[in-house]
């Protein structure tokens, strides 16, 4: 059978690998003229690492040994139980450059079956099969379509039709500092919680540090006259070391800014001969660092379901039973985490930080079980 995948991001390529391993002929259609990822880091939690292992993909990641949660004055609130996490879930917590992950997936998928500059406008189907539609109205025929085309998925629009994603009221700047002089413990990361804001910094392989700053902001707000760097200094210039140093050490033109979106969880991701994976299925805010990890889980689960089932509808049913509740729970947890960061009332901030400090480690781990523990879908 022939699978047509719309979107050649993390979800699309990972699904392409899984479906080929399940015996399918696979074509991936990516709208960009080249495979590219933005200059930022990604946290790969044990569930993401487990899925990459199942896909046979090796990545150049930096294993995290230590994460501190601090307040915006630099006082440590919690030392995150990273060692306990990797022991409990059997895989390390790592940080990878997005481009390195995409390259590793692209190498494993190979050039055959990858179509660049192919912007999919939708799909059409009848008893004979299903076809992806290109903007010039030409079609490509196959047996099933997978929408891996991200948060504004054209496939989802046609399948579910639930409108635009929802702006959560926060914006995020991201960058990479290329200096050895930043005082951040090797293999370590720090999250600073402020009033309606957050800053984080994590080591990447090759002596780089990935950082991100989050504040509340109106949707689509323009950068100030001094650009992103000046805006960051305005918001985070008084935060503890190494925050101002990281902003100063980053190339101004490479700083990214994105508004944060998600969608209310869907009750179903599939129709006749079509299903969704990754952000097309379950876009979530980045606060749990789980979007890509969930996309990798989708890929493995869909591949396994298609291998085991005797019909497409049975396979999609199996896939959704394994993935829908788990992914939707992470969407809800991520949104809750975003709301926690958006607290800007000083008294409520103190309460939030006190709660963080008082939370027993075993409760943190139990909360993470829902996301990080092995699922029957991935093994
Ligand atoms: C600030 C931020 C930080 C994050 N940090 C983490 C983290 O630490 N850990 C983690 O696991 N996740 C993280 N995520 C989430 C993660 O980035 C996403 O969940 C992941 O990239 C989703 O991959 P995807 O392939 O589903 O979608 P995308 O990455 O959006 O890829 C979709 C692809 O489809 C293509 N496409 C779109 N429309 C069409 C079309 N019509 N036709 C053809 N091609 C099309 C696009 O060009 C793109 O290549 C973060 C997200 C953000 C915004």
- Which of 6-20, 32-46, 225-239, 305-319 comes out lowest in average pLDDT? 32-46
Q: How many CB atoms neighbour CB 73 within 10 A?
A: 10
Q: How far apart are CA 107 and CA 233, in angstroms?
A: 39
Task: Please give the distance, rounded to the nearest whole angstrom, from the Cα atom of residue 268 to the centre of ligand 1.
Answer: 20
Of 306, 307, 292, 299, give the one whose Cα is nearest residue 323.
299
Beta strands in the chain (DSSP E): 2-6, 25-30, 41-44, 62-63, 66-71, 76-80, 94-97, 114-116, 122-126, 129-133, 139-142, 144-147, 166-177, 188-193, 197-204, 208-216, 256-262, 274-276
Q: How far apart are CA 32 and CA 376, in angstroms?
A: 34
Q: What is the pLDDT of residue 37?
A: 72
Identify whether 285 is part of a domain: yes
- Structural domain count of the chain: 1
Nearest CA residue ID for atom 9, ligand 1: 289
Identify whether 205 is part of a domain: no
pLDDT (average), residues 223-232: 94
More confident residue, 222 or 40: 222
Q: How many CB atoms neighbour CB 183 within 10 A?
A: 7
pLDDT at 66 over 90: no
Residue 32 Cβ inside 6 Å of ligand 1? The answer reads yes
Per the prediction, the chain carries an average pLDDT of 93
Question: Of 116, 174, 210, 292, which is best to mutate to test ligand 1, by the most ligand atoms within 8 angstroms of its C-beta?
Answer: 292
* Domain harbouring 20, CATH code: 3.50.50.60
pLDDT at 10 over 90: yes
What would the pLDDT profile of 244-287 be if each residue is shown by its tens digit?
999 999 999 999 999 999 999 999 999 999 999 999 999 999 99
What would the pLDDT profile of 118-150 be if each residue is shown by its tens digit?
999 999 998 888 999 998 889 999 999 999 999
Of 2, 22, 25, 26, give the one whose Cα is nearest residue 13.
26
Q: Please, are residues 95 and 203 in contact by the beta-carbon 8 Å criterion?
A: yes
Nearest CA residue ID for atom 29, ligand 1: 9
Identify whether 245 is part of a domain: no
pLDDT at 168 over 70: yes
Identify whether 194 is part of a domain: no
Identify whether 173 is part of a domain: no
Identify whether 199 is part of a domain: no
Q: What is the pLDDT of residue 379?
A: 61
Identify whether 367 is part of a domain: yes
Q: How many CB atoms neighbour CB 137 within 10 A?
A: 7
Q: What is the pLDDT of residue 38?
A: 75
Q: How far apart are CA 88 and CA 130, in angstroms?
A: 43
Identify whether 137 is part of a domain: yes
Q: How far apart are CA 204 and CA 159, in angstroms?
A: 38
Q: What is the pLDDT of residue 191?
A: 95
pLDDT (average), residues 170-196: 88
Of 105, 61, 49, 94, give the one whose Cα is nearest residue 297.
49
Residue identified by tokens 């990214």 is 256
Residue 309 is given by DSSP the state: -
Domain that holds residue 85: 2-165+262-372
For 283-324, the DSSP string reads ---GGGS-HHHHHHHHHHHHHHHHHH-SSHHHHHHHHHHHHH
Q: How far apart are CA 303 and CA 315, in angstroms?
A: 9
pLDDT (average), residues 353-373: 85
Residue 29 Cβ inside 6 Å of ligand 1? The answer reads yes
Nearest CA residue ID for atom 51, ligand 1: 286
The secondary structure element, H or E, covering residue 8 is none
Cα three-residue angle 145-284-114, rounded to 5 degrees: 35
pLDDT (average), residues 344-353: 94
Of 103, 99, 27, give the one whose Cα is nearest residue 58.
103
pLDDT-derived band of residue 372, with 50, 70 and 90 as boundaries? Answer: confident
Task: Please give the distance, rounded to the nearest whole angstrom, from the Cα atom of residue 278 to the centre of ligand 1.
Answer: 7
Residue identified by tokens 């504040």 is 215
Of 146, 165, 341, give the one whose Cα is nearest residue 263.
165
pLDDT at 225 over 80: yes
Q: Which residues fall within 8 angstroms of residue 24, CB to CB, at 6 or more apart?
A: 1, 2, 3, 306
Q: How far apart are CA 6 and CA 44, in angstroms?
A: 24
Q: How far apart are CA 233 and CA 347, in angstroms?
A: 25
Q: What is the pLDDT of residue 91?
A: 94
């Amino acid at each position: 059978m022939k699978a047509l995948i719309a979107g050649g991001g993390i979800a699309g390529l990972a699904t392409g690998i899984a479906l080929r391993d399940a015996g399918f002929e696979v074509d991936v259609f990516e709208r960009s003229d080249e495979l590219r990822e933005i200059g930022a880091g990604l946290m790969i939690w044990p569930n993401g690492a487990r899925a990459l292992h199942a896909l046979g993909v090796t990545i150049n990641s930096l294993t995290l040994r230590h994460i501190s949660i601090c307040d915006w004055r630099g006082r440590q609130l919690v030392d995150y139980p990273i060692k306990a996490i990797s022991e409990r879930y059997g895989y390390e917590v790592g940080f990878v450059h997005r481009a390195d992950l995409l390259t590793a997936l692209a190498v494993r998928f190979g050039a055959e079956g990858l179509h660049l500059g192919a912007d999919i406008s939708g799909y059409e189907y009848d008893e004979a099969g299903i076809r992806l539609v290109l903007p010039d109205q030409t079609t490509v025929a196959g047996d099933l379509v997978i929408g891996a085309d991200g948060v504004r998925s054209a496939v989802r629009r046609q399948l579910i039709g639930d409108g635009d994603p929802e702006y959560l009221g926060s914006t995020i700047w991201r960058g990479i500092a290329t200096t050895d002089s930043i005082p951040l413990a090797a293999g370590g990361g720090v999250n600073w919680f402020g009033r309606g804001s957050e800053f984080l910094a994590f080591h990447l392989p090759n002596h780089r540090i990935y950082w991100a700053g989050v504040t509340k902001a109106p949707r689509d707000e323009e950068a100030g006259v001094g650009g992103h760097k000046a805006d960051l200094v305005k918001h985070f210039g008084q935060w503890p070391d190494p925050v101002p140093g990281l902003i100063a050490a980053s190339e101004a033109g490479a700083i990214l800014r994105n508004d944060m979106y998600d969608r209310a969880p869907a009750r179903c991701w599939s129709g006749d001969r079509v299903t969704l994976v990754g952000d097309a299925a379950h876009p979530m805010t980045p606060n749990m660092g789980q979007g890509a990890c969930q996309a990798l889980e989708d890929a493995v689960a869909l591949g396994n379901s298609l291998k085991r089932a005797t019909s497409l509808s049975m396979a999609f049913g199996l896939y959704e039973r394994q993935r829908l509740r788990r992914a939707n729970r992470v969407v809800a947890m991520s949104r809750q985490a975003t709301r926690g960061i958006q607290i800007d009332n000083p008294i409520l901030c103190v309460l939030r930080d006190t709660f963080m400090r008082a939370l027993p480690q075993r409760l943190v781990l139990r909360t993470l079980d829902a996301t990080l523990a092995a699922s029957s879908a991935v093994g």
